[in-house]
Amino acid sequence: MKARDLIERYEAYCPQELSMEGDISGLQIGTLDKLVDRVMVTLDVRETTVAEAIEKGVDLIITKHAPIFRPLSDLVATPQNKIYLDLIKHDIAVYVSHTNIDIVPDGLNDWFCDRLGIKFTKPLSLTHDSYGIGRIGDIPRQTFSEFALKVKDTFNLDSVRLVSYGQETKVIRRVAICGGSGQSFYKEALAKGADVYVTGDIYYHTAQEMITNGLLGIDPGHHIEVLFIEKLIEKMEKWKYENQWNVTFIASQAQTNPFSHL
């Protein structure tokens, strides 16, 4: 099948137009006017991902995080540029779906809520008409530490960072969540009555401000977005059955999380 036909179905579900202003989405490397037999879904495109794609004969990569995230001044074969050069050399196209998959209904933030049992959700921060990034909703009453452990277990983490000043026994009910680096939306979480905000990459001073303003936080890291792979493969297998596509979908197994904890 043509890559363009696959992406047309994807964008019917998750339009590029939902992306936040200035965000990178859509085709970033290669062409969609090509036949594809093997499509890989990944969170990141790093040297490990590219090596895996070459080994498995992949024609198209669908990724959440863009491989080209800063302006290029050259294509000299530095370690970072070699990622792009290898993709071009092996004719592997790369399609990016970033904040649009965070915003779309039945997208990444809704999948997080499903996993964590967050109900009666609404967008955390409105972006387009009734669409918005992040979610806020309710959980059964429980202590902050109980919910933090649920986050840890749900995403198979070795640890989570708590923004709490020792308030682990505080009872919580209302939870805001935003995948990736969502600390800039913490004021919306406060305004909407959240007891706790779950997001990655919370800065030191932002964490202090959150506590001062009465908002607890859980930082599970950016990499929980790896759920993108599993859930998108599920959708694509369904579309494959409905449309009788002759294509193989591959969930990337490459390690791209740069962090670990002792």
Radius of gyration of the chain measured on its C-alpha atoms: 19
- Residue 260 in any domain: the answer is no
- Residue 211 in any domain: the answer is yes
Domain shared by 109 and 213, yes or no: yes
168 is in an annotated binding site: no
Domain shared by 157 and 201, yes or no: yes
Domain shared by 118 and 139, yes or no: yes
- Residue 258 in any domain: the answer is no
Region for 151 from its dihedrals, namely left if φ exceeds 0, alpha if ψ lies in -120 to 50, beta otherwise = alpha
CATH number at residue 234: 3.40.1390.30
Segment 71-98 shows an average pLDDT of: 97
CA atoms within 13 A on the CB side of 260: 3
Q: Mean pLDDT of all residues in the chain?
A: 97
- Residue 236 in any domain: the answer is yes
65 is in an annotated binding site: yes
17 is in an annotated binding site: no
Q: From CA 101, how far away is CA 62, in angstroms rounded?
A: 12
Provide the domain limits for residue 95: 3-101+225-251
Q: From CA 232, how far away is CA 11, in angstroms rounded?
A: 13
pLDDT value of position 235: 98
Domain shared by 90 and 15, yes or no: yes
Domain shared by 203 and 116, yes or no: yes
Q: From CA 97, how far away is CA 74, in angstroms rounded?
A: 25
Encode pLDDT of 156-179 as tens digits. 999 999 999 999 999 999 999 999
Domain shared by 175 and 235, yes or no: no
Q: From CA 197, how far away is CA 175, in angstroms rounded?
A: 6
pLDDT value of position 135: 98
pLDDT value of position 45: 98
Q: What's 243's DSSP letter?
A: H
Residue 177, φ and ψ in degrees, nearest 5: -145, 145
CA atoms within 13 A on the CB side of 179: 27
Segment 89-110 shows an average pLDDT of: 98
Encode pLDDT of 180-218 as tens digits. 999 999 999 999 999 999 999 999 999 999 999 999 999
Residues 6+ apart with CB under 8 A from 151: 116, 157, 160, 198, 218, 220
Number of structural domains the chain divides into: 2
Q: From CA 103, how far away is CA 126, in angstroms rounded?
A: 9
Structure-token pair, residue 86: 């290898």
Q: From CA 140, how far away is CA 154, in angstroms rounded?
A: 16
Q: From CA 179, how far away is CA 133, in angstroms rounded?
A: 9
Segment 99-113 shows an average pLDDT of: 98
Percent of the chain residues topping a pLDDT of 90: 98
- CA-CA-CA-CA torsion sign (194, 136, 66, 22): negative
225 is in an annotated binding site: yes
Segment 62-82 shows an average pLDDT of: 96
31 band by pLDDT with thresholds 50, 70 and 90? very high
Segment 230-247 shows an average pLDDT of: 98
- Residue 180 in any domain: the answer is yes
Q: Which residue has the tokens 């959150």?
A: 210
40 band by pLDDT with thresholds 50, 70 and 90? very high
Q: Where are the alpha helices (DSSP H) in the chain?
A: 3-13, 47-55, 79-89, 99-103, 108-116, 144-154, 186-191, 204-212, 227-243
- Residue 57 in any domain: the answer is yes
Domain shared by 149 and 247, yes or no: no
